[in-house]
Amino acid sequence: MTAKMLEDFNREHFPQVDHMNMRVEHVDDKTITIRMSVTEQHLRPGGTVSGPTMMALADAGMYLLLLAQIGPVALAVTTNLNINFLRKPAPGDIVARGNILKLGKTLATGEISIYSIGIEDPVAHVTLTYAIPPKKQNL
C-alpha cells in the first residue's frame, strides 16, 4: 500500500484518530516515516508532548507499516508496546521512523524511533508486536 492508500484507509476505518494530524511522509517495503503536527491538546503540563501522544503515534506508525506489507487488514492488533522515553521533546512536530524487524504469518515485530523537530537524537524508542489475523480459508 502507498502512503496515500494508508492515509485513506486510516481515515475510513479509524476516523477517531483524525485529531492526531498524522501524515505518512514515506513508506517502503521495510520502513515508514510519519509526521504529526502537535497541537495544544497533545501537550502535558510544562509544554512537553505527552507520553500517550507519542505512544499513539508509534502504534499508528507500526500499524500502517504492517498494512503496507500485508494489505488492508483492519483486524491486525497490537499485542505488545514497550516505550522508553529518552528525553523531553520540544513543542512542535514529532516524527516517527519505523522498521519491521520480523514479519511472520501470525506476528510482526518492529521498532519506532520518535524525533522532535530541532532535537537530533530520538526522544523515545518503541518496540511493538502485532497479531495478524489468519486469512480466511476458501472451502
The Cα–Cα gap between 64 and 82 comes to 18
First to last CA, the chain: 28
H or E element, residue 125? strand 124-131
Position 19 scores a pLDDT of 67
Per-residue pLDDT tens over the stretch 41-96: 777 787 788 889 999 999 999 999 999 988 888 788 999 999 999 999 887 899 99
pLDDT given for residue 137 in this prediction: 47
| Partners of residue 77 on adjacent β-strands | 131
What percent of the chain lies above the pLDDT cut of 90? 51
**Which residue is it, cell 520502513?**
31
Spatial neighbors of 40 by CB under 8 A, at least 6 apart, are none
42 or 139, which is more confident: 42
For 64, the enclosing helix (H) or strand (E) is helix 51-70
Nearest to 43 by CA among 108, 89, 6: 89
The CATH superfamily label for domain 3-131 reads Hotdog Thioesterase (3.10.129.10)
d(CA 129, CA 49): 24
Domains of the chain by residue range: 3-131
